Structure 1
């Protein structure tokens, strides 16, 4: 029997009573990690099923925006957005997240224009692949149109700030991603963010929004949570939140870590945009080891390799081959 860091006796992966997570390993097998105690680990999204007890899903990012912080409009044209989506699926992405409006403050875009941006991509991707398709939007009418076109997930980066969004998801078979963020959609905070207990406040927010989703009729099996790396948080906040990710994991829902090329990566390393791949892969790996089960990434092939390697290291998948020293 091995004692856990909190004094709980048990096997190397003994569950800590009341925490909702499995304690970090303390034996000689390797570094510590957290295994989520998920309410519904096996999830079906349209034609694809993912077992989050043994899979870390890679969510590829495709933005049909002319002003995306990362690609600066590289996939704004429809044919390029569709090609990027199909290529992501071919590179091994489990999931493609399609957005038509960036999260950051900017000019108002009519909902009809956002629909015109995302729906054709959703339709064409759904015809060509069984990959999970999500729409990144805070507008209920956009979500409804995308679901009708074939999206199976609504990625709401405002955490159900519009109560109509919960109703749209509840009336469908779609899953919702509930994200921690504080400001009104596409509006800056009036002052720099202040937190007394970053992880505690994020968990409290997510718990309240999950309750809102449940009350609207969305079942537990169709809820995912996202702590909102960098969203209304500075670099110090986000680094602490990442270290304390097990507290978010303990909610019992699959956790999405949207860490790719974020400013906290750049500021931690002193790297400009375009030079953050290594840092992004590192924090995605740390997040996975701390219990995240979906990582939202720009560089698909590299991210897929990283997550498949994490799975192999944890014993969730067998190596592609095993010839070395045999």
Structure 2
């Protein structure tokens, strides 16, 4: 499986790592950790040196019940960081975590390579059109509602069947706008109970029938720390376990806070030739 990032073909036949860099004061794990240019550059350099293939930058926390952020504020947070990173690390493949077409467009125009949309185009009716025009890979995630309402939208008759139908609809819509490179994300933690998250992970190989790359984002999430009765800061071990399971189920990109540990896990996983 190949995706085209800024003219470079990226082979997803082997697992890739997407390192997380948040520009938000309220993200559940690292909110407010990076406050100035030097801190952003230091963390980006660390992610790249540890082996990140992509850096995913977000400026609107999508944790449950996250505070609303205006488009203007999101742009003011994220565009300077994209410009900063590409000034110092010009070959970096940057993914933009946003559900807003205006933010996606502004970031790609200053050099971002991928759009990562938690809503699969359902929270901004211009998103698919803009991504189609920008000709960048598009990550579409499964979610219901918004970050503010999703915890109340967890009723499913058959969650995996309904997710497969959701993706078939969203992929058809994306294709109609000329989006060629699509990656699907099951959306762990989004409009799903703890039990539903584990059911989706257990059955994740069923998403391979869609024949698109799969991104898994379980890093330090509540499906780990609530199950174990710990904090997000203590959830690295659980993250590594679930990332390993995700690879066995067909994930091709792992979105993580901790790149070094993920890279080591993939090296061992590949050696086993599972």
Normalised to the residue count of structure 1, the TM-score between the two structures is 0.79
Corresponding position of 1:179: 141
- Higher mean alpha-carbon deviation, 175-184 vs 269-278, is at 269-278
Structure 1 contact 254–293 (Cα < 8 Å) conserved: yes
The whole-number CA distance in structure 2 between the counterparts of 1:309 and 1:143 is 35
1:269-314 C-alpha deviation (Å, 9 max, x unpaired): 2222211101101101110111000011001111111122222322
Structure 2 matches for 1:144-293, cutoff 5 A?
144-161=105-122, 162-184=124-146, 186-189=147-150, 191=152, 193-219=154-180, 222-293=181-252
The whole-number CA distance in structure 2 between the counterparts of 1:72 and 1:280 is 18
- Higher mean alpha-carbon deviation, 296-305 vs 118-127, is at 118-127
Partner of residue 124 from structure 1, selected from 75, 79, 84: 84
Asked if 1:134 corresponds to 2:95, the answer is: yes
The whole-number CA distance in structure 2 between the counterparts of 1:66 and 1:102 is 8
The whole-number CA distance in structure 2 between the counterparts of 1:131 and 1:152 is 9
Structure 2 contact 67–148 (Cα < 8 Å) conserved: no
The whole-number CA distance in structure 1 between the counterparts of 2:201 and 2:151 is 25
Name which one, 1 or 2, has greater alpha-carbon Rg: 1
Normalised to the residue count of structure 2, the TM-score between the two structures is 0.94
Q: Secondary structure at the match of 1:163?
A: coil
Q: Secondary structure at the match of 2:52?
A: coil
Structure 1 contact 228–258 (Cα < 8 Å) conserved: yes
The whole-number CA distance in structure 2 between the counterparts of 1:168 and 1:149 is 15
Q: Secondary structure at the match of 2:38?
A: helix
Residues 89/194 of structure 1: CA separation in 2 closer, same or farther (3 Å cut): same
Structure 2 contact 143–150 (Cα < 8 Å) conserved: no
1:210-261 C-alpha deviation (Å, 9 max, x unpaired): 1110011112xx1100010110101100001001101112211100000100
Deviation (angstroms), 1:192: 5.3
Residues 148/192 of structure 1: CA separation in 2 closer, same or farther (3 Å cut): closer
Corresponding position of 1:306: 265
Structure 2 matches for 1:5-16, cutoff 5 A?
none
Structure 2 contact 164–207 (Cα < 8 Å) conserved: yes
Gaps in structure 1 of 5+ consecutive residues: 1-40, 316-326
Deviation (angstroms), 1:163: 2.3
Gaps in structure 2 of 5+ consecutive residues: none
Residues 190/288 of structure 1: CA separation in 2 closer, same or farther (3 Å cut): closer
Q: CA RMSD in A?
A: 1.6
The whole-number CA distance in structure 1 between the counterparts of 2:145 and 2:69 is 18
The whole-number CA distance in structure 2 between the counterparts of 1:223 and 1:182 is 19
